Amino acid sequence: MTRREPFGIVAVFATPGALESAARQLRALGFDSVEACTPYPVEDVGRSLHPGRNVLLPLLVMAAAVVGLAWGYFVQYWDAALDYPIDVGGRPYHSWPAFAVTTVETAALFAVAAAFFGLLASCRLPRLYHPIFEAAGFERASRDRFVLSVAAKDPGFEPNLIRRVLQRHGAERVEEVAGWR
Amino acid sequence: MTVAADPMVPPGNPPVVRPGLGLTSLSVEISSRVLSPRAPGWWWIGFGAGLALLLVLAVAVAWLFVNGIGVWGVNIPVAWGLAIAEYVWWIALASGGTIVSALFYLTRSPWRAATNRIAESMLLCAAASAGILPILHLGRPGLFYWLFVYPNTMDLWPQARSPLWWDFIALFCYILMSLMFYYVGLLPDLATVRDLATTRGKQVFYAVLALGWRGSARDWRNHKTVYAIMAAVMTPMVVSVHSIVGLDFAGGLTLGWHSTQFPPYFFFGAVISGTALVIVLTIFVRWGYGLYDLITGYHLNALGKVMLVGSLLLAYAYIWEAWGPFYGGDAAERTEFIDRISGFTAWQYWATIILDVAVPQLLWLPAVRASPTALASIAAGVMVGMWLERFVLVVASLHRNYMPAEWGDYVPTIWDWGIFAGSIGLFLTLFLLLLRFLPAVSLAEMRELIDKAAE
């Protein structure tokens, strides 16, 4: 295993409001690697840290649905019209209305699967270890505390300035965290 | 500090969350049920009953596999018996889980947050119970995999024009989709349990399940996007799944089945019976875990209204079912219907009408919707009624088909009933396991409600 490296500064707040104002000020000071970990989605924080719309995931799901649609139809066409044609009362082998139902089901399955795996990929999960887990009090970010972090890889990383900003906004605890790569 | 500011809640009605509930107490309270080394007494009683019934299933299935489906009461002409009726029944119950969790997510209903986990757990367990029944009903259950589409050395392909195959694909897709939907909703809550766990084994167990969820702002943004998309896809899918079960019947040239109203008719049944099971389980979990702060009269009131809507929809379908034979002027249709309501299946038919249409009209009264006992009793009655409806539907049509020469009765044997009891055992066992080891309510969504209430 490689050595421990500085991860950044991690602050714990008691309310989403305090975290939000601290995050906004840090962003205004030019820090890019600011991230918040909260027990539930806090809309204002999300909007100020990650402005813009989430377009990639919906597009991925749409694309998967189209692929599912095509695949679902093709399999039935291959089955009933090409490879294993059975004459049922003279009905056409390529009976598209009968294929419609399962085509839609396949498209839905592909869409939901793309959404599921897209979520994991976009959140970089599964990742059982993350340096932020080393921060004291981080375990409460999944229930009643709001955690803000500024990564050390930020080009203008200035520990003292960041520390002051975080404390001014009422952080309960500010800590420099190092973790395994 | 109360939710009374919410325009959805008229003054005087119970709030969605009791004001005393905070972020800390919510997480600790729900997680402690999961992490506690000792399960409560009622859980052991329920789990014991579930295991006992599961044993019945094992014996009944073993006897079936050894002897073939001759051990059941099914024969020509009534070749579909309890197994198929119960399959339809279980699927309808499962569908209720998606209706409560996905449909009411899209409508942004605040009462959905405390009930959706129960509804979705119920969905998965009911789908498991449903899924085994058609396989058992196959004469050669070991060959059920022939329904999958895959290149094979036998050069066999399934019949893509058959509703029975559509049904298999629809159910297969539905279960997979439901699992993924469930897991996405569960992910943040697993992280909460992971962080509250104190013993090494539990920490590792829940850490692996939570996949390292941190709840960063980016994660939440992706999570919300994906969850909304999934709910939007799942909602039409649940309509389609039970409609396709209806097509299994409508596709057959059998009296009483060959009707265009079957797909919506079946879905209406899913609305009422699925909601009924959600109501029963919600009241049960609320009582068992003492979750009176999270699941309030607001939830019961809302669920009661959904069940009432289901009952009205179903009444509409029953009227058309009776209208058709008399308007159509086909003597065979008429004979079959008159026999259905006055012959072999008469008491089951009228019990269905009473339990699914007449009694649920009590839900118009706010006092009934406010009483957990009344609500649970009506819901239990609805489920019994729906079981009888499925029985009448399957049996009555087959036992009075076109030719009087092929008329015949059907009496379930003890092995039919064994499978039925066993399917309940499977449901109960799985549901109680999920209830024991996973958070019973959606913590992340409840926190949003608490946050909103505090504003």
Q: How many residues does chain A have?
A: 181
Residues 243-302 on B with a CB inside 8 Å of A are 244, 247
- A179 φ, ψ to 5°? -150, 175
- Find out whether B340 and B395 touch, Cβ atoms under 8 Å: no
Question: Which among B180, B195, B217 has CB closest to A143?
Answer: B195
Cβ-defined contact of B226 to A144 (cutoff 8 Å): no
Residue-wise pLDDT for A91-120, tens only, equals 899 999 999 999 999 999 999 999 999 999
> Is residue A19 a contact partner of residue A178, using CB atoms and an 8 Å limit?
no
With a cut of 80, say whether residue B8 has pLDDT above it. no
Q: Choosing among B203, B218, B234, B244, which should be mutated to test the A contact, i.e. which has the most A CBs within 10 A?
A: B218
pLDDT in tens, A118-128: 999 999 989 99
Judge whether residue A181 has pLDDT over 80: no
pLDDT digits (tens, 9 = 90+) for B362-392: 999 999 999 999 999 999 999 999 999 999 9
Instruction: Work out the average pLDDT over B222-246.
Output: 94
Is the minimum CB–CB distance between B237 and chain A shorter than 8 Å? yes
Query: For residues A107 and B382, what is the distance between their CA atoms, to the nearest angstrom?
Result: 34
For residue B19, pLDDT over 90 is answered with no
Q: Which residues of A touch B229 (CB under 8 A)?
A: 57-58, 61, 111, 115
Alpha-carbon distance values, B158 to A85, A100, B248, B429 (Å): 11, 16, 16, 34
Q: Looking at the complex, report in whole angstroms how far the Cα of residue A144 sits from the nearest Cα belonging to chain B.
A: 5
Does the beta-carbon distance from B23 to A39 stay under 8 Å? yes
Residue B228 touches partner A, C-beta closer than 8 Å: no
Taking residue B343's Cβ as centre, other Cβ atoms within 10 Å add up to: 15
Distance of alpha carbon B75 from alpha carbon B434, whole angstroms? 38
Residue A102 to residue B157, Cβ atoms within 8 A: no
ipTM of the complex: 0.94
B59-73 per-position pLDDT tens digit: 999 999 999 999 999
Mean pLDDT to the nearest integer, B400-425: 93
Strand pairing partners for A37? Answer: A147, B216
Which 3-state string (H, E, C) describes B408-442? CCCCCCHHHHHHHHHHHHHHHHHHHHHHHHCCCCC
Predicted TM-score of the model (pTM): 0.93
Of A83, A86, A118, the CB nearest to B226: A118
Query: Is the CB of A111 less than 8 angstroms away from the CB of B229?
Result: yes
Distance (Å, whole) CA B328 – CA B169: 34
Residues of A in contact with B185 (CB under 8 A): none
H or E segment and range at residue A121: helix A96-122
pLDDT of residue A5: 85
pLDDT tens digit sequence for B444-454 = 999 988 888 77
Each residue's pLDDT tens digit, B74-102? 998 899 999 999 999 999 999 989 998 99
Taking CB atoms and an 8 Å limit, are A128 and B188 in contact across chains? no
What's the sign of the alpha-carbon dihedral A27, A31, A35, A38?
negative
- B222 CB neighbours in chain A (<8 A) are 54, 57, 118-119, 122-123
Whether pLDDT at B10 is above 80 = no
Which whole-number Å values give the CA distances from A109 to A68, A76, B105, B106, in the listed order?
Answer: 8, 16, 19, 19
Structure tokens at A103: 């085509």
* Residue A137 tokens, joined: 């009090």
Find out whether B434 and B39 touch, Cβ atoms under 8 Å: no
Indicate the pairing of strand A173-180 with strand A146-151.
unpaired
User: What's the mean pLDDT in B157-172?
Assistant: 92
Question: Which residues from chain A sit within 8 angstroms of residue B234, using beta carbons?
Answer: 112
